[in-house]
């Protein structure tokens, strides 16, 4: 009963601090860590059942890594693209190398410098996804690339945790066991086979009941984590592998959405425990290194991404916004350092140091990402240094005038493109998906590779001279920008945009849109037209059925899928 009361008081304090963070528009993770500091022995001294809380926090870490593993489907990794792979690996290499030399210059040992430098390379999956979602930027070019960074880092985490698991006591090459790693690879290989040949059949059985599917998922994740721990590996790597094994299941979205509330509760206790274990005795000695590392993450990491993406030929705005998303350290950074403390490689002072860096960079990067557009306007002139003018991402070397421009090729855009072809007018397709660009190139269709919300890019393609512009981009702000840009110099141009919201559709009309496509209402409208036209004649409806089946097969062959909408479970 004492543990229950203690947890109740701790959660109550956390709710209060998290509420303050919410008002300040800060990530709640900062509130969790601050709550841990407040309940620590240095302040209220409320933690008397540290062992119980530690067990709960370990469950939270396992669930977090399990859900990350669910997103590491080979299909998803394939979609990441060259830029995310090259830039992600490059950022890891350069950040860790520079971070290592900074650590050594500050007087830290080689082993401590290795841990710190690697911890600095990780960016927060939870925070970036949340901020991009709040800004509705997940579908933008820089958002896609940022998600790619996270996937690359997550794969790196898997390898890293496995290596650390193969050390015991002092970190040295003599304690490194290749046989141990090899056995781990065999174990992972076994789970890959299970995920391909066994789990799909089992998941169909479990999916017949939502509660049973949830129970199976929790049991699978924790059981595999425990198995890896029993065999001498870390619990973290086991949880990750358990998630990866289920990532190919058609129910992995359902599993992930149902697991998140459970994960959120237990991971809160991890960050509370982390804050409560901070050592403040040597805070004066830690503050200067913490500031140096924080400045490196807030400024150095974005610069590294800017350089790498500029080298690959990306526009400065895309590079700048993608760079800002890596301007903080991750929850995995704290997990890595905590693991180093547990195995005896690091002291609690180092954990405190990295936690301070986490607090500073998470808070700072939140504002950098939320106000990236305003920052870009201020820094745009100087960012031109990072653009590599010699590389063209587009097929066309010279900007030309077009009668019709389509923003977004897949799904709705495919049908619109067929209409453009029938017009026998000169048309251009704008998209940022590398696979789409390849298809357009093969079909010898004029295209530009870029983002619809980049003013400089719109100037390059002379958008105001087009007679008809169609945007299938779902972001409201992007469509407003397009309309404003066109109406500045061309009042007669036909502007068709898309919207999923009635109020936003009205606003787009007020801004000057000629027509607003509303996909959720088009289906019902079309069925209504068929009923009015065909009445109750079954033959006419069967003719429409045949046409629709042919249409679906064509879309399927082209790889067009209906966008997935994740369901909320109450």
pLDDT digit string, tens, across residues 228-243:
888 777 677 788 788 8
Give, in order, the Cα–Cα distances in Å from 442 to each of 114, 281, 375, 395, 399.
46, 65, 38, 11, 20
Comparing 432 with 9, the larger pLDDT belongs to: 9
Percent helix, strand and coil across the chain, each to the nearest 5: 70, 5, 25
Among 12-21, 95-104, 474-483, whose mean pLDDT is lowest? Answer: 474-483
What is the pLDDT at residue 514? 92
Q: Which residues are CB-contacts of 432 (< 8 A; sequence separation ≥ 6)?
A: 141, 144, 449, 450, 451
pLDDT above 60 for 332: yes
pLDDT above 90 for 564: no
Position 570 confidence tier, pLDDT thresholds 50, 70, 90: very low
Comparing 548 with 482, the larger pLDDT belongs to: 482
pTM of the model: 0.64
Position 286 confidence tier, pLDDT thresholds 50, 70, 90: confident
Domains of the chain as residue ranges with CATH: 2-179+267-386 (1.20.1530.20), 404-517 (3.40.50.720)
pLDDT above 60 for 79: no
pLDDT digit string, tens, across residues 507-550:
999 999 999 888 777 777 777 788 888 888 888 888 888 888 88
Residues above pLDDT 90, as percent of the chain: 11
**How much is the mean pLDDT over the chain?**
79
pLDDT above 60 for 565: no
Report, as an integer, the average pLDDT of 160-184.
57
Contact of 304 with 87, CB cutoff 8 Å: no
Comparing 310 with 159, the larger pLDDT belongs to: 310
Contact of 142 with 457, CB cutoff 8 Å: no
pLDDT above 50 for 256: yes
Query: Which alpha helices (H) appear in 106-247, and where do they start and end?
Result: 110-119, 125-134, 141-165, 178-197, 199-206, 210-230, 235-246
Beta strand pairing call for 427-431 and 494-498: unpaired
- Show the tokens assigned to 83: 């830029």
Buried b (16+ CB within 10 A) or exposed e, 302-315: bebbbbbbbbbbbb
What is the pLDDT at residue 298? 94
Helices 50-70, 252-276: crossing angle, 10 deg rounding: 150
pLDDT above 50 for 391: no
Position 398 confidence tier, pLDDT thresholds 50, 70, 90: very low
pLDDT above 50 for 380: yes
Cα separation, 270 vs 263, whole angstroms: 11
pLDDT above 60 for 196: yes
What is the pLDDT at residue 394? 43
Residues above pLDDT 70, as percent of the chain: 83
Report, as an integer, the average pLDDT of 293-308.
93
Comparing 560 with 548, the larger pLDDT belongs to: 548
Query: Which alpha helices (H) appear in 166-198, and where do they start and end?
Result: 178-197
What SS3 state is found at 405? Answer: strand
Cα separation, 457 vs 536, whole angstroms: 51
Cα separation, 272 vs 32, whole angstroms: 5
What is the pLDDT at residue 167? 58
As to burial, measured by CB atoms within 10 angstroms (0-12 exposed, 13-18 middle, 19+ buried), residue 230 is exposed
Report, as an integer, the average pLDDT of 30-52.
80
What is the pLDDT at residue 562? 52
Among 148-152, 278-282, 413-417, whose mean pLDDT is lowest? Answer: 278-282
Report, as an integer, the average pLDDT of 431-445.
76
Comparing 251 with 546, the larger pLDDT belongs to: 546
- Show the tokens assigned to 356: 């301070």
Residue 333: CB atoms within 10 A of its CB come to 25
Position 97 confidence tier, pLDDT thresholds 50, 70, 90: very high
What is the pLDDT at residue 171? 45
What SS3 state is found at 506? Answer: helix
Residues in a beta bridge with 470: 406, 496
Among 52-61, 113-122, 484-493, whose mean pLDDT is lowest? Answer: 52-61
pLDDT above 60 for 268: yes
Residues in a beta bridge with 497: 516
Report, as an integer, the average pLDDT of 49-69.
78
Residues in a beta bridge with 469: 405, 495
Cα separation, 391 vs 317, whole angstroms: 16
């Amino acid at each position: 009963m004492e543990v229950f009361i203690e947890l109740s008081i701790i959660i109550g304090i956390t709710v209060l601090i998290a509420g303050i963070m919410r008002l300040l528009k800060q990530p709640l993770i900062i509130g969790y860590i601050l709550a841990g500091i407040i309940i620590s022995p240095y302040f209220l001294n409320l933690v008397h059942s540290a062992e119980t809380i530690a067990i709960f926090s370990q469950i939270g870490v396992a669930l977090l890594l399990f859900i990350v593993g669910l997103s590491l489907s080979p299909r998803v990794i394939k979609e990441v693209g060259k830029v995310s792979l090259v830039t992600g690996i490059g950022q890891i290499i350069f950040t860790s190398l520079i971070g290592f030399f900074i650590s050594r210059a500050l007087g830290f040992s080689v082993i401590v410098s290795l841990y710190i430098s690697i911890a600095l390379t990780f960016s927060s999956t939870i925070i970036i996804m949340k901020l991009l979602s709040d800004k509705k930027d997940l579908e933008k070019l820089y958002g896609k690339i940022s998600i790619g960074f996270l996937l690359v880092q997550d794969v790196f985490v898997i390898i890293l945790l496995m290596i650390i698991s193969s050390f015991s006591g002092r970190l040295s090459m003599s304690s490194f066991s290749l046989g141990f790693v090899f056995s781990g690879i065999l174990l992972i290989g076994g789970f890959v086979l299970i995920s391909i040949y066994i789990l799909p059949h089992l998941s169909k059985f479990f999916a017949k009941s939502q509660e049973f599917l949830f129970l199976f998922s929790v049991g699978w994740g924790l059981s595999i984590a425990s198995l890896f721990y029993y065999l001498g590996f870390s619990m973290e790597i086991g949880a990750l592998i358990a998630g990866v094994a289920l990532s190919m299941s058609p129910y992995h979205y359902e599993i992930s959405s149902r697991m998140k509330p459970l994960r959120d509760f237990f991971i809160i206790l991890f960050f509370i425990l982390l804050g409560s274990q901070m050592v403040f005795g040597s805070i004066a000695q830690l503050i200067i290194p913490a500031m140096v590392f924080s400045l490196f993450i807030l400024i150095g990491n974005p610069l590294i991404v800017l350089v790498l993406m500029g080298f690959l030929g990306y526009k400065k705005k895309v590079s700048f916004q993608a760079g800002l998303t890596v301007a903080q350290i991750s929850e995995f950074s704290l997990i890595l350092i905590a693991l180093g403390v547990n195995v005896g490689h690091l002291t609690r002072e180092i954990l405190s140091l990295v936690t301070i860096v986490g607090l500073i960079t998470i808070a700072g990067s939140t504002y950098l990402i939320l106000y990236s557009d305003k920052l870009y306007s201020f820094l745009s002139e100087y960012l031109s240094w990072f653009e590599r003018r010699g590389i063209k991402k587009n097929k066309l070397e010279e900007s030309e005038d077009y009668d019709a421009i389509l923003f977004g090729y897949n799904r709705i855009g495919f049908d619109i493109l067929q209409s453009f072809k029938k017009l026998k007018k000169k048309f251009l397709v704008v998209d940022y998906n590398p696979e789409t660009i390849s298809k357009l190139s093969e079909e010898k269709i004029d295209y530009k590779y870029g983002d619809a919300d980049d003013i400089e890019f719109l100037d390059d393609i002379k958008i105001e001279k087009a007679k008809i512009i169609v945007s299938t981009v779902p972001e409201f702000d992007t469509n407003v920008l397009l309309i404003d840009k066109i109406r500045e110099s061309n009042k007669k141009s036909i502007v068709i945009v898309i919207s999923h919201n009635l109020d936003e559709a009205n606003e787009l009309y007020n801004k000057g849109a000629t027509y607003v496509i509303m996909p959720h209402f088009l289906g019902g409208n079309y069925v209504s037209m068929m009923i009015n036209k065909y009445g109750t004649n079954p033959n006419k409806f069967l003719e429409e059925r045949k046409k629709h089946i042919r249409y679906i097969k064509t879309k399927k062959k082209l790889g067009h899928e209906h966008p997935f909408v994740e369901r909320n479970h109450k």
